[in-house]
Every structure is written in structure tokens, then in C-alpha cells.
Chains A and B, each alone.
Chain A
């Protein structure tokens, strides 16, 4: 072997660390780059958790401001994005709590159903189920279906399957254990599958099946 790998080639710091350091040094414009990079993702996560657009807008603002104000607490060994997601999830859950003051909303509220039974309805879907509907109809179906999941399941599904965080990152962002994330993810996936099946297993319009 004639080449020598540069030391720490795999441990190269994430590009966000340089941006964070610039912000810490007083360059606010570097923060604008971080906002541009992640605002869409934070909005999607917030909207999924709160199921309310105005609340999601607030969450985006509050999460970015909180992250900015607490940037000194950010540890460089974790990813800025995962840290930001944790702040955003907490802000979004606070919004839910304010809306439902009679019940504390937490990610643990839906942990009671721990059975590992097979889904009730096992019917195959048509080959390209999403093509049965217009884009608008499909979005409506997906939105309604995911709204029916408890917040703790919804959040894990969104972070893991929609936003593509790893299981470990999801666990870290939600302050859950890896087995807890896996267990919720399985349940979330199966419940969504079950509910979507009502729309996708038959070739007919969605009317009357909601």
C-alpha cells in the first residue's frame, strides 16, 4: 500500500460544525445558512406532531431561536441537526400540551399497547395504489391516516421513515432508548399500513371509506 489515509479521514467534522463555530464567533449570517438548510425539515416534523400549520410555524421560529440562544450548550460530538430536532420536538409537544391541558402529552402516553399480534386485516393492495388518487386526494388520505396515530408513534415514524434519521439519531432526538424507538416504529408502520389498506386494497374512489 503506497497511500496513507489522512488521519481522521472518517472523523472529519460535519460541515455544520464550521457554521456553528462561525455563529459562535459572532457571524449571524452563518446561522441563516443553518436555517435555510433545515427549516423545511423542522416544519414538516412540527406539522406532523402538532397537526396544525400555525403551531408548526411557531415551532419553527421558537426552535431556531432557542437553538441560537443556547448554541453554547451544543456539543460538537453530536450533530447540529439532531440537536435541533430535539429542541423542535419538545417545542411541538409543548404546543400539544397547551392545546390539550386536561391531559399531559408525552411520548410515553401510547406505550400501553405492547402486543405483538399480527395486523387484523391482511389484504393485498392494488399494484400502484397511489395512482388511484389525484395528488391532492392522496395527500388528504396520508394526512388523515397519520393523524390517527398517537403522537409518540407519529413522531418516531416521521423522524425515522420520512426524514431519514437513523434509529440512533431518532433515539437521541427523542431521548428514548433504541429498543423503544424500534418498538414504536414497528407499531407505527403496521398501524399506518392497516389504515392505508382501507384506501388501497380496492380499486374504487375514497368516498365512504374515511
Chain B
């Protein structure tokens, strides 16, 4: 497997959807190609860091306000009948 082929399969590899044969070839490539190993490892870390980051959490007070506003408007809409917004 060449580096460009590794890159092509990287997303499938990280998502665990590679067929067994390609997976073995890719892991064999990673065992000797340091650059691709680093790319694979740090890309995986990138995903994990974002997944765990709790970036843009909705604060509880704002959440409450938004939900009240949404539900009040839904109630109004219901009274008006089943018209689209």
C-alpha cells in the first residue's frame, strides 16, 4: 500500500468499516511508515478531542428560556390550527 492509498482509506479505517484484507494492508503500511502512522494517530486524537470537548454547550438558563419560547409558540400555533409555519 502506498501513502496516497493509505490516505484514501484513512476515514474508513478510523470509522472501522474497512474490509479485513484492506485493513491488514493498511496496518502493515503503518508498521513501517512513520509519517502515515503519525497522521493516523493524530487524526484519531483530533476526533477524540473534539468529541470530548463539550464545545458550545447550551447553558441551562438559556435552555429553559428557549424551550419556554418554543413551547409557547407551538401552543399558539395549535390554537390557530394545523397550518404550516
Contact surface of A with B, Cβ cutoff 8 Å: 26, 28, 31-32, 35-36, 39-40, 43-44, 47-48, 56-57, 60-61, 64-66, 68-70, 72, 116-119, 122-125, 129-130, 138-139, 142-143, 146, 157, 161-162, 164, 167, 182, 185-186, 189-190, 192-193, 196-197, 200
Type the 1/0 row for B59-73, where 1 means its CB is closer than 8 Å to any CB of A: 000110011011101
Known contacts A118-B4, A139-B53; A193 and B46 CB within 8 A of each other: yes
Known contacts A64-B70, A139-B55, A167-B15; A116 and B43 CB within 8 A of each other: no
B residues within 8 A CB of A28?
A: 71, 74-75, 78
CA distance A43 to B62 in the complex (A): 11
A residues within 8 A CB of B57?
A: 40, 44
Interface of B is mostly: helix
> Contact: B38 with A32, CB < 8 Å?
no
> Contact: A161 with B55, CB < 8 Å?
no
> Contact: B39 with A118, CB < 8 Å?
yes
Contact surface of B with A, Cβ cutoff 8 Å: 3-4, 7-8, 10-12, 14-15, 35-36, 38-39, 41-43, 45-47, 49-51, 53, 55-58, 62-63, 66-67, 69-71, 73-75, 77-78, 82-85
Pairs across A and B, CB under 8 Å, 8 listed: A28-B78, A57-B62, A61-B70, A66-B85, A118-B35, A162-B55, A190-B43, A197-B42
